[in-house]
Chain A
Amino acid sequence: MTREEHAKGYSHAELMAVLAAKEIRDGDKVFVGIGVPMIAGFLAVHSHAPNAVLMFEGGYLGSHPPMVCTDVGDSVLGFGAPYVTSSWRTFSDLQHGYCDIGIIGSAQVDKYGNVNSTSILDGGNHENPKIRLPGSGGANDIASSAGRVLIMARLEKRRFVPRVDYITSPGHIEGYESRRTAGLKGGGPVAVITDRAGFRFDGDTKEMYLSHLYPGVSVEEVKKEVGWNLRVAEHMETVEPPTKAQIHFMRSYDPTDVILRRRHLFESIDFPSWSRLAMSSWEKHARRA
Chain B
Amino acid sequence: MADQRKRADKTRTLREAIKEFVHDGCSLTLGGFCGRNSQAAAYEIVRQNRRNLTVIDDSPTDQLDILIGAGCIRRVEIAWHGVSLFSLARNFRRAVEEKIPQPIEVEDYSNYAAGLRFMAKAMNVPFLPTRSLLGSDIPKHNERIKIIRDPYEGEPVALVPAASPDVAIIHVQRADKQGNAQIWGHLANDENKARAAKHTVVTCEEIVKEKDILKIPNMTALPSYCVDALVKIPYGSHPWSCYGYYYHDIIFQRDYAKNNETRLSFLKWLDEWILSCEDQNEYCRKVGKARLSRLAKMERAINRIPV
Q: Collect the chain A residues with CB atoms within 8 Å of residue B92's CB.
A: 132
Given the contacts A34-B84, A34-B85, A132-B97, A88 and B115 also touching, CB distance less than 8 Å: yes
Cβ of B291 within 8 Å of any chain A Cβ, yes or no, is yes
Cβ of A30 within 8 Å of any chain B Cβ, yes or no, is no
Given the contacts A71-B84, A78-B243, A167 and B136 also touching, CB distance less than 8 Å: yes
Q: In chain B, residues 225-270, which have Cβ atoms closer than 8 Å to a Cβ of chain A?
A: 240-244, 247-254
User: What are 13 pairs between A and B in contact, CB < 8 Å?
Assistant: A70-B253, A71-B35, A71-B84, A76-B241, A76-B247, A78-B186, A78-B243, A136-B79, A137-B110, A144-B133, A179-B135, A184-B131, A274-B250
Q: Which residue of A lies closest to B287 (CB)?
A: A271
- How many residues of A are in contact with the other chain, CB < 8 A? 74
Cβ of B156 within 8 Å of any chain A Cβ, yes or no, is yes
A98-140: contact bitstring with B at CB < 8 Å (1 yes, 0 no)? 0000000000000000000010000000101111111111111
Q: A73-B36, A78-B243 are in contact. List 6 more A-B contacts (CB 8 A).
A: A35-B85, A58-B188, A84-B185, A88-B189, A141-B112, A145-B132
Q: Collect the chain B residues with CB atoms within 8 Å of residue A132's CB.
A: 92-93, 96-97, 106
Q: Which residue of B lies closest to A173 (CB)?
A: B135
Top 3 closest A-B pairs, CB basis? A73-B34, A183-B156, A59-B186
Cβ of B130 within 8 Å of any chain A Cβ, yes or no, is yes
Given the contacts A136-B108, A271-B291, A88 and B116 also touching, CB distance less than 8 Å: yes
For the complex, what is the distance from the CA of A78 to the CA of B242, rounded to whole Å? Answer: 11
Contact A86 B191 (CB under 8 A): yes
Cβ of B280 within 8 Å of any chain A Cβ, yes or no, is no
A266 CB to closest chain B CB (Å) equals: 7
Residues of B within 8 A of A (CB): 32-36, 58-59, 61, 78-82, 84-86, 88-89, 92-93, 96-97, 106, 108-113, 115-116, 118-119, 130-138, 141, 155-157, 185-192, 240-244, 247-254, 291, 294-295, 298-299, 301-303
Contact B84 A135 (CB under 8 A): no
Contact A72 B134 (CB under 8 A): no
Q: Which of A75, A179, A183 contacts B243 (CB 8 A)?
A: A75
Contact A95 B112 (CB under 8 A): yes
A146 CB to closest chain B CB (Å) equals: 11
Q: Collect the chain B residues with CB atoms within 8 Å of residue A85's CB.
A: 186-187
Of B135, B155, B190, B295, the most chain A CB neighbours within 10 A belong to B135
Contact A135 B132 (CB under 8 A): no
Contact B112 A88 (CB under 8 A): yes
Q: Which residue of A lies closest to B190 (CB)?
A: A86
B151 CB to closest chain A CB (Å) equals: 14
Q: Collect the chain B residues with CB atoms within 8 Å of residue A279's CB.
A: 298, 301
A147 CB to closest chain B CB (Å) equals: 14
For the complex, what is the distance from the CA of A129 to the CA of B240, rounded to whole Å? Answer: 30
For the complex, what is the distance from the CA of A97 to the CA of B214, rounded to whole Å? Answer: 37
Contact A87 B33 (CB under 8 A): yes
Given the contacts A88-B115, A144-B133, A168-B137, A129 and B298 also touching, CB distance less than 8 Å: no
